[in-house]
């Protein structure tokens, strides 16, 4: 049986539990393809998985890694193949796990062609963040389709994260007004460069800033990875008809809210997690991204923000950097 190098989680713990090891090359099943991985993205959920707090969904690889780019080398191309992918093509793919390896299996429906002019590292930085942001800001959050009209406003919590830099750029490119919180002057400057009005949450109150900037109206959509005690403040910061979309609970998952305020101001609280959603759902998102976002990437209007690239064997260093929270944008691994 052919083998490959992969990064295993030897046991739950700190970054040094990530270890280079030898594994059998995975075999694609029906509707799946095998990718020879050139690069993989590091995402915060990988850190939670490594610590033992975010188990892979049933059937997914125990190897971490939710996104890759590389060469499509084998697999089942007989089913629905909307982008006409074939062996030898450069693809990027959203995975439910298994990305930190020389080979990874992905459902064909979750593969997209590498955008023209993109390196493998740049392409591998796309899937997890762009699928998540599209699904939560534009589908669940309905940015641009609410009571605020075709040009609405968005507040991104954690604007310098991989998710944040994606949300800022996409919303800005599609004509929406964007606010973003971040925890340092350097991170705020990066958010501003991407098109947001930045708010240093360690020094400023984001509710006061967005209220003042919108003449007291508030923002139409908030993309939130903090939750906890942010929730009542976010409800305050929303405009009438506003939508608060949760994608993580870095600050805790519980809060007291006043249902009367939700009724009176027609607010929506929602959220989702991408990893465990079915292939058909992710395939539909891939189609929307290809139609609406790939042209923006190929035109250079939206670009992945790469903070640092590590050799895959140094995944432990990549995780330690992510946990230091000093990065702006994406941390990547390369074989
Ligand atoms: N629901 C889903 O489907 C889904 C999918 C992918 C990722 N996620 C989640 O999305 C989050 C971002 O993921 P990522 O990979 O982009 O991680 P990341 O780059 O490590 O970003 C985490 C960010 O959280 C920010 N943050 C922490 N506390 C904050 C606060 N009180 N106010 C504002 N910002 C705060 C940090 O910024 P500072 O250092 O400036 O505080 C940092 O930029 C993670 O929690 C991840 O689990 C969810």
pLDDT digits (tens, 9 = 90+) for 136-175: 999 999 999 999 999 999 999 999 999 999 999 999 999 9
Q: Tell me which residue range forms the domain holding 146.
A: 131-271
Same domain assignment for residues 253 and 184: yes
Supply the pLDDT for residue 317.
98
CATH number of the domain that 309 lies in? Answer: 3.90.180.10
Same domain assignment for residues 85 and 197: no
Cα separation, 262 vs 279, in Å, equals 33
Q: Of the candidates 244, 271, 298, which is a domain's last residue?
A: 271
Closest of 232, 239, 245, 246 to residue 265, by C-alpha: 239
The alpha carbon dihedral of 99, 105, 111, 113 has a sign of positive
Query: pLDDT by residue (tens digit) across 8-58?
Result: 999 999 999 999 999 999 999 999 999 999 999 999 999 999 999 999 999
Buried residues in 134-163 as b, exposed as e (16+ CB within 10 A): bbbbbebbbbbebebeeebbbbbbbbbbbb
Same domain assignment for residues 72 and 147: no
Pocket of ligand 1 contains residue 69 by CB under 6 Å: no
Same domain assignment for residues 43 and 75: yes
Pocket of ligand 1 contains residue 41 by CB under 6 Å: no
Given a cut of 90, is residue 85 above it in pLDDT?
yes
Same domain assignment for residues 90 and 104: yes
Same domain assignment for residues 240 and 288: no
Cα separation, 128 vs 186, in Å, equals 24
Pocket of ligand 1 contains residue 182 by CB under 6 Å: yes
Query: For residue 310, which phi and psi values (nearest 5 degrees)?
Result: -115, 150
Same domain assignment for residues 108 and 78: yes
- pTM > 0.75: yes
Query: pLDDT by residue (tens digit) across 88-136?
Result: 999 999 999 999 999 999 999 999 999 999 999 999 999 999 999 999 9
Query: pLDDT by residue (tens digit) across 286-329?
Result: 999 999 999 999 999 999 999 999 999 999 999 999 999 999 99
Pocket of ligand 1 contains residue 227 by CB under 6 Å: no
Same domain assignment for residues 152 and 221: yes
Q: Which helix (H) or strand (E) holds 230?
A: helix 230-237
Same domain assignment for residues 138 and 267: yes
Supply the pLDDT for residue 187.
98
Same domain assignment for residues 135 and 122: no
Q: Of the candidates 227, 255, 271, which is a domain's last residue?
A: 271
Q: Hey, how many other C-beta atoms are within 10 angstroms of the C-beta on 296?
A: 17
- Out of 41, 43, 206, mutate this one to test ligand 1's pocket (max ligand atoms within 8 Å of CB): namely 43
Pocket of ligand 1 contains residue 162 by CB under 6 Å: yes
**Residues paired with residue 156 on neighbouring β-strands, in sequence order:** 180, 223
CATH number of the domain that 197 lies in? Answer: 3.40.50.720
Same domain assignment for residues 114 and 143: no
Q: Of the candidates 254, 271, 288, which is a domain's last residue?
A: 271
* Number of domains into which the chain is organized: 2
Query: pLDDT by residue (tens digit) across 221-262?
Result: 999 999 999 999 999 999 999 999 999 999 999 999 999 999
Same domain assignment for residues 51 and 140: no
Which residue, by CA, sits nearest to atom 34 of ligand 1?
Answer: 158
Pocket of ligand 1 contains residue 201 by CB under 6 Å: yes
Cα separation, 260 vs 99, in Å, equals 45
Supply the pLDDT for residue 1.
87
Scan for tokens 């796990």, then name that residue: 97
Closest of 215, 209, 235, 211 to residue 224, by C-alpha: 235
Alpha-carbon separation of residue 303 from 83, 124, 169 (angstroms): 21, 12, 8
């Amino acid at each position: 049986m052919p083998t490959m190098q992969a990064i295993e989680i030897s046991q739950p713990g700190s970054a040094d539990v990530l270890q280079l090891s030898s594994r059998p090359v995975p075999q694609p099943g029906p509707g799946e393809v095998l990718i020879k991985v050139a690069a993989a993205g590091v995402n915060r959920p990988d850190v939670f998985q490594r610590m033992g707090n975010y188990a892979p969904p049933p059937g997914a690889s125990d190897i971490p890694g939710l996104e890759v780019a590389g060469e499509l080398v084998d697999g089942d191309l007989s089913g629905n193949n909307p982008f006409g992918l074939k062996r030898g093509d450069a693809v990027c793919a959203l995975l439910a796990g298994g990305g930190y390896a020389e080979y990874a299996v992905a459902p064909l429906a979750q593969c997209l062609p590498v955008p023209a002019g993109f390196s493998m590292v740049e392409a591998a930085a796309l899937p997890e963040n762009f699928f998540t942001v599209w699904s939560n800001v534009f589908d669940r959050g309905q940015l641009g389709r609410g009571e605020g009209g075709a040009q609405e406003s968005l507040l991104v919590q954690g604007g310098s994260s991989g998710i944040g830099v994606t949300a800022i750029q996409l919303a800005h490119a599609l004509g929406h007004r964007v606010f973003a919180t971040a925890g340092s002057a350097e991170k705020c400057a990066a958010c501003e460069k991407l098109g947001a009005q930045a708010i240093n949450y360690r020094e400023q109150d984001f509710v006061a800033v967005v209220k003042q900037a919108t003449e007291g109206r508030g923002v139409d959509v908030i993309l939130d990875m903090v939750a906890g005690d942010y929730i009542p403040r976010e409800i305050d910061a929303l405009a009438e008809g506003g939508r608060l979309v949760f994608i993580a609970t870095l600050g805790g998952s519980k809060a007291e809210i006043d249902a009367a305020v939700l009724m009176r101001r027609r607010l929506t609280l929602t959220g989702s997690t991408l990893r465990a959603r079915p292939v058909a759902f992710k395939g539909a998102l891939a189609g929307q991204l290809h139609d609406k976002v790939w042209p923006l990437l190929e035109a250079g209007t939206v670009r992945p923000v790469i903070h640092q690239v590590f050799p895959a064997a140094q995944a432990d260093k990549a995780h330690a950097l992510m946990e230091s929270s000093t990065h702006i944008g994406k941390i990547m691994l390369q074989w």
